Each structure stands twice: as C-alpha cells, then as structure tokens.
C-alpha cells in the first residue's frame, strides 16, 4: 500500500515537473525578446526596453497568454538625467504634436533647468499617441512625458467627429437665447432714465482713471527658470560680496596692428580667426599669475588659493546670459583659446551647453563692448572674487609723446571682492592687463 502511494506521489511530481518544463518552453518560444527566463510566479517588472509585464500567474496562465500586446507596442518617453546639481526642471515646450511621426532619439520636448535646456527624446520610432505632462509642469528625471505607439497610424479620426459635433449641438441653444434677450429688452429701458444719477460719480473719479495702467495692453508670462537663476545669483552676489570697481583705459593700437599683420597667416595655420578675446584672456592669465589673490576665493573662515586658471567667458543668448568655462587657459596658446571660445559660443547660441561646460571657473571676462557699451560696472560671478569688463573701442584724443593724437581706446573695469582683495592688488592686476594688451611682446619675453 505504501509503495502504491509513493509511486503515485512520484508520478504526480513528475507530471507537475513536466508541466512546468512545457510552460517554460512555451514562454521561451513566445518571448524570444526576454533576456532571461523568469521563474513562474515571480513578480516581473521592466525586463527589457520593450517592457514586459507578467504579474503573479500560474504556468498555464503564462502558456495561454498572448504576447502580441506585451511585445512593446507602446513606449514611454521620460525625462532624462539632467546633471549632478540639477534635481528638477520646467517642461518649457513641446516640439511635436499628438499624431506626429517621430524617429528614434528625435527630440519631442524641451526641459528648461536653472542652467541649461535639455531635450526629451523619443526612445524609439513611432507615432506620438498623447502627452502625459503639460507645458509649465515641474518634472524630475524619470517623469513620463509622452506615450509613443510604434504603429504608423495616428489616432486622429477620433478627434474630428467630437470637434464637429460640439458646434452642431451648441447651435440650437443660441437660437433659443435670442428671443429671451428680446423679451427682456423692454424691461431694461426704465433704468436708462436714471442714468444721469450715476454719471456724477465717474466725474469724481475721472482724474484718477488716466493714472491706472492699461491692463488690456499688458502681458503676464511666467519667468523662465534660467532668468530666475540669473536674477537670484546676481542678487546673492550683491548681498554677499563687498564689491568695488576700479577703472583704467587701454590703447588698442598695437594689438589691432598685430591682428591686421598676421590675421591671414593665423587663419591659414590654425583654421580660426585671431580675435581680441584671446589676447585679453592671455593678459588675464598673466595678471592672475602675478596677483594670485585675485584667483582665490573666500570659503567661510578660509581662503582657497587655486593653482589653476579656468576663465569664464560671458556669452549673451536669446534666453539669457550664460558663462561657459575655458579650462586650463594657463597652458593654452592664442589659437587654442580662440578655438575654445568659438566652440563655446556656438554651443551657447544653439542651446547645446551642458552643465559641465559652465561648472567651475576662477575668473570671468565680460565683453560688453560688442553691444556698444562704453563703460559699466560688472557684477562678480560667484564663487569667484573678480570680473573683468571690456567695452567698446572708440577713437579718442590722447596725448602721446607730448602730441595729441586720435587713438582707438577702450575702458577696462575690474570689479573685485574688497573683503579679500585690497585696492593695491586690484590696481596692479588691472595695470598688468593694460601693459600686456598695449604691448603683446611682453607675453613673449615674460616681462
């Protein structure tokens, strides 16, 4: 008797094992996309990019389930990683509409952060079915933005009948509303006789009415996150630093003659034009090496001296002022600096700057002269201690060897943190820049 029971149990276990094996085999045959075989009854989540969902189920349920709907018919576009120091952003605008065809990695929306603008790309080719998020929403990495169907048929036919039905349904009430207005019209006539009484009150308030702003001619729009960030940083800079500005002027004659003499040979050899910024960057590097306190920064009760020179160059764009960084400028020549400036300026205008392009920086140069500024007092870019302001080149009469001559002159402004930098160091620093720009041969001789 015991042997019969044991043999029966063995047959049952063997049958169950055979059923499991058949189920696994069937799952393997129908889910060739799966990267690994999942035990029966396990809670499965996103196994592959095509997102297979298999909740707790028996082997036979898995065996009988159709894998056509689980074969990645729809995918989701999510907000990508935005950088180490960026935790969220604002969904600025959609680049596509529901029903549009998109390719893999094609941008469909833009996320505006405190520093850069990031694209949300389609994970695969298909048709945008709908947007989950809305413009102006605050989103974080991983937030779902859109659902994309891999089928080539956009679901637009369901929208047209609803749009056509609404005006037809709303048209009968409009016809009924007209007689009601006409019936009430005679009842409104008696109050018109009392109109002279309220006319006296507007005459009393009439002097104040022209002073009110015309609300119908104003527009209120949300402030972009980049503009908020700029405003907060500038105000924090004013509240933190003891800012003082010193001025000087520089004769641009020798530098402009140097450019005109070697501009063609410079382009032929290096493939980039010789501009003014490279000379000012090299002059700033020389001045920072002579006055290392200007390259330092206050951190609490300490002073951090930095033995490297990363120059930030302010670039104005349509979305606001950005300050990308040229790194290790103390090891660069004129051509390397010009190539770095051109590359960063192009990325800034295209909105392709990354967080790494603007992180760091020990000293900033701002060239307001390209917009025609004659003189200004720039604001320090935290966490730096000084900023150099360049301005427009203007022909002015100057005294040279006892003679009054017309020379191309530029005003220079150095704003510095007076808590750390004394006036003596600031004046010596700006004087060094003036000497190098007026006679670039000093850089060759290191004098």
In this prediction, residue 105 has a pLDDT band, given cuts at 50, 70 and 90, of confident
Residue 72, pLDDT score: 59
Instruction: Report the SS3 class of residue 95.
Output: coil
In this prediction, residue 7 has a pLDDT band, given cuts at 50, 70 and 90, of low
Residue 52, pLDDT score: 36
| Spatial distance between the Cα atoms of 276 and 284, rounded to a whole number of angstroms | 12
Nearest to 247 by CA among 69, 404, 431: 431
In this structure, the strands spanning 386-400 and 363-367 are parallel
| Spatial distance between the Cα atoms of 363 and 315, rounded to a whole number of angstroms | 14
| Spatial distance between the Cα atoms of 354 and 84, rounded to a whole number of angstroms | 11
Among 257-266, 310-319, 421-430, the range scoring the smallest mean pLDDT is 310-319
Mean pLDDT of 10-18: 49
Residue 297, pLDDT score: 96
Residue 82, pLDDT score: 75
Residue 31, pLDDT score: 37
- Tell me the three-class secondary structure of 373-433, residue by residue: CCCCCCCCCCCCCEEEEEEEEEEEEEEECCEEEEEEEEEEEEEEECCCCCHHHHHHHHHHH
User: Would the pLDDT of 213 be above 90?
Assistant: no
Instruction: Report the SS3 class of residue 359.
Output: coil
Cα-trace Rg, the chain: 35
Question: What percentage of the chain reaches a pLDDT higher than 70?
Answer: 69
Is position 422 annotated as part of the catalytic site? yes
User: Is the omega angle on the peptide bond into residue 383 within 30 degrees of 0, that is, cis?
Assistant: yes
Q: Which two tokens stand for residue 30?
A: 């129908």
Do 58 and 42 meet the contact criterion of CB atoms below 8 Å apart?
Answer: no
Q: Which residues pair with 394 in a beta bridge?
A: 409
CA torsion through residues 125, 126, 132, 136, sign: positive
Mean pLDDT of the chain: 76
Specify the length of the chain in residues: 447
CA angle 356, 358, 363 (to 5 degrees): 130
Q: Give the distance from CA 374 to its chain's centroid.
A: 30
Residue 447, pLDDT score: 86
> What values do phi and psi take at 419, rounded to 5?
-65, -30
Mean pLDDT of 196-211: 52
Residue 385, pLDDT score: 96
- Please, what's the b/e burial string for 417-441 (b: 16 or more CB within 10 A of its CB; e: otherwise)? beebbeeebbeebbbbbbbbbeebe
Query: How many CB atoms are located within 10 Å of the residue 162 CB?
Result: 8
Residue 300, pLDDT score: 92
| Spatial distance between the Cα atoms of 325 and 357, rounded to a whole number of angstroms | 6
User: Would the pLDDT of 442 be above 80?
Assistant: yes
Is position 446 annotated as part of the catalytic site? no
Given the residues 26, 70, 88, 418, the one annotated as active site = 418
Q: Which H or E run includes 226? A: helix 225-240
User: Would the pLDDT of 145 be above 80?
Assistant: yes
Residue 92, pLDDT score: 80
User: Would the pLDDT of 405 be above 90?
Assistant: yes
Among 60-69, 180-189, 270-279, 315-324, the range scoring the smallest mean pLDDT is 60-69
Q: Which two tokens stand for residue 52?
A: 């297979």
**pLDDT per residue as tens digits for the range 251-296:** 999 999 999 999 999 999 999 999 999 999 999 999 999 999 999 9
Mean pLDDT of 114-123: 81
In this structure, the strands spanning 302-304 and 243-251 are unpaired
User: Would the pLDDT of 195 be above 70?
Assistant: no
Contacts of 315 (CB under 8 A, 6+ apart): 321, 322, 323, 324, 344, 345, 348, 349
| Spatial distance between the Cα atoms of 110 and 97, rounded to a whole number of angstroms | 13
Nearest to 74 by CA among 52, 45, 96: 52
Helices (H) and strands (E) in the chain, counts: 11, 18
Nearest to 392 by CA among 378, 406, 373, 412: 373
| Spatial distance between the Cα atoms of 234 and 5, rounded to a whole number of angstroms | 86
Most confident of 66-70, 142-146, 165-169, 301-305: 301-305
Task: Match 């389609």 to its residue by tokens.
Answer: 122
Among 124-133, 217-226, 419-428, the range scoring the smallest mean pLDDT is 217-226
Domains in the chain, CATH or no CATH each: 74-149 (2.40.50.100), 226-445 (3.30.559.10)
Of the two residues 269 and 14, the one the predictor is more confident about is 269
Residue 180, pLDDT score: 46
Q: Please state the pTM of the whole predicted model.
A: 0.60
């Amino acid at each position: 008797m015991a042997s019969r029971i044991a043999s029966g149990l063995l047959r049952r276990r063997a049958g169950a094992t055979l059923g499991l094996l058949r189920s696994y085999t069937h799952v393997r045959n129908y889910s060739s996309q799966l990267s690994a075989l999942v035990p029966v009854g396990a809670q499965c989540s996103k196994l592959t990019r095509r997102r297979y969902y298999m909740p707790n189920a028996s082997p036979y349920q898995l065996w009988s389930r159709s894998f056509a709907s689980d074969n990645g018919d729809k995918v989701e576009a999510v907000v990508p990683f935005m950088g180490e120091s960026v935790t969220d952003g604002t969904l600025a605008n959609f680049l596509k509409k529901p029903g549009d065809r998109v390719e893999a990695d094609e941008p469909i929306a833009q996320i505006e952060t405190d520093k850069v603008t990031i694209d949300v790309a389609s994970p695969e080719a298909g048709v945008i079915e709908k947007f989950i998020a809305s413009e102006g929403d605050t989103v974080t990495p991983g937030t779902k933005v859109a659902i994309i169907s891999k089928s080539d048929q956009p679901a637009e036919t369901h929208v047209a009948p609803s749009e056509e039905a609404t005006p037809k349904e709303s048209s009968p009430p409009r016809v009924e509303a007209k007689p009601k207005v006409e019936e009430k019209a005679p009842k409104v006539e008696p109050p018109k006789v009392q109109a002279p009484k309220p006319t006296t009150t507007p005459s009393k308030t009439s002097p104040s009415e022209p002073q009110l702003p015309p609300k119908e001619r104003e527009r209120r729009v949300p402030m972009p996150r980049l503009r908020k960030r700029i405003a907060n940083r500038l105000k924090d800079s004013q509240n933190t630093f003891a800012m003082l500005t010193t001025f000087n002027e520089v004769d641009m004659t020798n530098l402009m003659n140097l450019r005109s003499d070697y501009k063609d040979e410079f382009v032929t050899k290096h493939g980039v034009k010789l501009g003014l910024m490279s000379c000012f960057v090299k002059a700033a590097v020389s001045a920072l090496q002579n006055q290392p306190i200007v390259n330092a920064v206050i951190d609490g009760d300490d002073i951090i001296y930095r033995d490297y020179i990363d120059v930030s160059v302010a670039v104005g764009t349509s979305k606001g002022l950005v300050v990308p960084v040229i790194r290790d400028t103390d090891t660069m020549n004129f051509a390397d600096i010009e190539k770095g400036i051109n590359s960063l300026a192009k990325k800034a205008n295209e909105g392709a700057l990354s967080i790494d392009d603007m992180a760091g920086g020990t000293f900033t140069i701002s060239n307001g002269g390209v917009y025609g500024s004659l003189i200004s007092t720039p604001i320090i870019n935290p966490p730096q201690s000084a900023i150099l302001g360049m301005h427009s080149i203007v022909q002015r009469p100057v005294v040279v060897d006892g003679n009054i001559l017309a020379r191309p002159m530029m005003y220079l402004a150095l704003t510095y943190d007076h808590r750390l930098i004394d006036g003596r160091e600031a004046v010596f620093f700006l004087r060094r820049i003036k000497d190098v720009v007026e006679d670039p041969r000093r850089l060759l001789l290191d004098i």
